[in-house]
Amino acid sequence: MIHSRNRRLRVNESVRSLVRECTLTTNDFVMPIFVMEGENKEEPIASMPGIFRRSIDLTVKECKELFSLGVKAVNLYMKVSDDLKDNTGKEAWNKNGLMQNTIRAIKDAVPEMVLMPDVALDPYSIYGHDGIIENGKIANDATNDALARMSLSHAEAGADIVAPSDMMDGRVQVIREALEENGFTDVGILSYAAKYASSFYGPFRSALDSAPKDNIEIPKDKKTYQMDFHNSREAINEVFKDIEEGADIIMIKPGLPYLDVVSKVREAIDLPIAVYNVSGEYAMVKAAAQNGWLDNDKTIIESLTCIKRAGADMIFTYFAKEAAMILNR
């Protein structure tokens, strides 16, 4: 006779929901948003069905809708005009730049929306790299100074949390010191502590035209600063260094292919963990769903739940709006 039957706790949805270990809600989501110059403009991103570049006015409208659905945080990226790009990235800290104007506009319209602007130079660089190029290499410390200026301009515009995604060594400390010295003690830092050099970023780079340029005099990829995808112990080292430097939230990127890293970091730290469900992950699900190979809604919810189950406290995902609609139903 069988005395222990695990299926007793799976007998129907009511029982399953009572013993469920992990529950997904709209509070878990951060929506990445792409912003472009202009007015009343919207451009679809071909490799990311359902995702758009929008002008500031339409971005504000989108943020209002997101907030009404229960998505309370957005991650901001700018599509910068080529004539504003150079090797220093100085447009990144222009007080009247696209990012700064976007932050102010959203804060005026949706004051309680948590704004997490991206901090990296690649959208502003003529080379498409996250750092300043000196003698054919990424200049770590010069880049850190630029990132601090960029972060400070975001804080002045009204950002709640700055999100350095560049993977320069020591940049969290430089940014934290700049914020503290200028009175922005309440502005948080969400550090991309374990960001891997991944093939899953392709659709994102096409959305912002931020891929490294094909130039023999500069690194052809981002492998000298983003992590090697063969490694996981290295991620723990990166995470602890960023915590020591003053990070408030730790990011692991990409998401689904790296859940082993998420789980290891979760066991090692108590700080909140963010996980980025990146553009390539989004594109694969959408392509399969459009071909009838996967159920769109069920796959979205399962994927995001798996990320949370692995240890994420928040999930950066292009599915945020769609997932919120599904959950609200």
List phi, psi (to 5°) of 303. -60, -50
What letter would DSSP give residue 196? B
Q: If DSSP codes are grouped into helix, strand and coil, which group holds residue 45?
A: coil
Strands 114-119 and 161-164: what pairing?
parallel
pTM, rounded to two decimals:
0.95
Q: What is the pLDDT of residue 303?
A: 98
Give the integer Cα–Cα distance in Å for 228 and 255. 15
Distance CA 63, CA 184 (A): 24
302 annotated to a ligand binding site: no
Does residue 285 fall inside a structural domain? no
Cα distance between residue 275 and residue 252, in whole Å = 5
Rounded to the nearest 5°, which phi and psi values hold at 47? -80, -5
Number of domains in the chain: 1
> How many Å apart are CA 239 and CA 241, to the nearest integer?
5
Q: For position 211, what pLDDT does the model report?
A: 63
Q: CB–CB of 170/245 below 8 Å?
A: yes
Regions in the chain scoring below 70 on pLDDT: 205, 207-211, 213-216
CATH number assigned to the domain comprising residue 120: 3.20.20.70
Residue 135 resides in a domain = yes
Q: What is the DSSP string of 79-148?
A: ---GGG-BSS-GGGG-TTSHHHHHHHHHHHH-TTSEEEEEE-SGGGBTT--SSEEETTEEEHHHHHHHHH
Catalytic residues: 195, 253
- Interatomic CA distance for residues 191 and 319, integer angstroms: 22
Q: What is the pLDDT of residue 204?
A: 80
> At 176, which amino acid appears?
R
- Give the pLDDT confidence score for residue 181 in this predicted structure: 98
Asked, for residue 307, whether it belongs to a domain, the answer is no
- How many Å apart are CA 73 and CA 16, to the nearest integer? 30
Q: How far is CA 105 from CA 124, 154, 253, 275, in A?
A: 21, 13, 28, 27
Map residue 7 onto helix, strand or coil: helix
Q: Is the backbone peptide bond immediately before 254 cis, with ω within 30 degrees of 0?
A: yes
What was the pLDDT predicted at 250? 98
Full domain range(s) for residue 47: 23-246
- DSSP category for residue 294: S
In this prediction, residue 62 carries a pLDDT of 98
Task: Identify whether 95 is part of a domain.
Answer: yes
**277 in a structural domain:** no
pLDDT at residue number 218: 78
Residue 114 is assigned to a structural domain of this protein: yes
Distance (Å, rounded) from C-alpha 283 to C-alpha 49? 7
**How far is the C-alpha of 58 from the C-alpha of 61, rounded, in Å?**
5
Q: Is residue 322 part of a domain?
A: no
What pLDDT does 208 receive?
A: 64
* pLDDT the model gives residue 203: 85
Determine the distance from the C-alpha atom of residue 74 to the mean position of all C-alpha atoms in its chain, rounded to a whole number: 9
Helix (H, G, I), strand (E, B) or coil at 78: strand
What the block records as the tokens of 190 is 């969400």
Residue-wise pLDDT tens digits, 53-99: 999 999 999 999 999 999 999 999 999 999 999 999 999 999 999 99
C-alpha to C-alpha distance for 20 and 308, rounded to whole angstroms: 13
In a domain, 257, yes or no: no
